[in-house]
Amino acid sequence: MSSFYARLIARTPKFDFVGKRVPAFVVTGLIILGTFASIATKGFNFGIDFAGGLLIESQTIDGPADIGKMRDVLGNLGLGEVSLQEFGTTGRDVMIRVQRQAGDEKAQMAALAKVKESLGAGYDYRRVEIVGPKVGEELKRDGVLAVVLSVLAIAAYVWFRFEWQFGVGALIATFHDVIATFGLYSITGIEFNLTSVAAILTIAGYSINDTVVIYDRVRENLRKYKAMSIYDLLNLAVNETLARTFLTVATVFITVVSLLVLGGEVLHGFSVAMLLLFVLLVLLVLLSFLLLLLL
């Protein structure tokens, strides 16, 4: 442990990151190709937000809601995917989402009656909506638009703050992280819903945060070491910020593991996607600066 601290934290290490550019490009290429192949052949396991279904806003009459008991009861009704989410400050309000049933509106109303019957008389149903395929398509379009615009805005910011080469590098590297996260959802079959979109946007934010920190060190070193080769300068910048990257990732890792273990079913997809971030950040350090080397 003391040796690790001395090499990574106490002093600037001298790892040859740029020298590993060929394996990095190979791994990155395989990840992106595998993602596109999985999306084309398997697609996504869309949740109720995108696939449609019943949206029920309920409130318990006596005392806080027992989410675990409600999930067990509704999960055994044979209605497909059922998700519950507590909201508000009283602990009595629960949002119930039920997968869209095969058939017309009568089939959806029959599922609603089944839910009410199974939960009993201890609930007040404040709002009931049937989320149709059209709404799901609109949410898909808005989700894709949010991700694309966020990545483009990130690239524009980096371009404005640094130079155009930096903006291109940030755009491609962030694109790599976002695409890889989409691939995780497609390959594993984890439910893809609005929480997943939030996870992807969070990953893009963390990636660009790390990128900007190291880009700033690159710009500083360009002024400080005018005779140094770009190969050595990029290696130096990554190594000088490696301790900061490690400590940031380690801190977030502890938080995300806590969410994964204690956050319940609602945050499962978000937590798994965030855990992927730690692998992506390692690739990000290599990819974005190797792109600068080629431009």
Alpha-carbon gap, residue 51 to 53, rounded angstroms: 7
Buried (b) or exposed (e) across 214-231, using 16+ Cβ within 10 A? bbebbeebeeeeeeeeee
- Taking only the tens place, the pLDDT of each residue in 108-132 is 788 888 888 888 777 888 877 777 6
Sign of torsion over alpha carbons 292, 13, 203, 218? negative
pLDDT in the model for residue 279: 56
CATH number of 2-46+135-294, picked from 1.20.1640.10, 3.30.70.2740, 3.40.50.300, 1.20.1250.20: 1.20.1640.10
List the one residue out of 187, 204, 185, 201 whose CA is nearest residue 268: 185
pLDDT band at 4 (very low <50, low <70, confident <90, very high): very low
Q: Tokens at residue 12, please?
A: 């600037």
Q: What is the largest CA-CA distance in the chain?
A: 78
E strand intervals along 115-252: 123-131, 191-192
Cβ atoms 58, 70 nearer than 8 A: no
Among left, alpha and beta (phi > 0; psi -120 to 50; other), residue 98 is beta
Alpha-carbon gap, residue 270 to 273, rounded angstroms: 5
The residue ranges of every structural domain in the chain are: 2-46+135-294, 53-131
- Taking only the tens place, the pLDDT of each residue in 190-214 is 778 777 787 788 778 777 777 788 8
- Taking only the tens place, the pLDDT of each residue in 153-200 is 877 877 777 777 777 777 777 787 788 888 878 887 777 877 778 778
Assigned CATH topology for domain 53-131: Alpha-Beta Plaits (3.30.70)
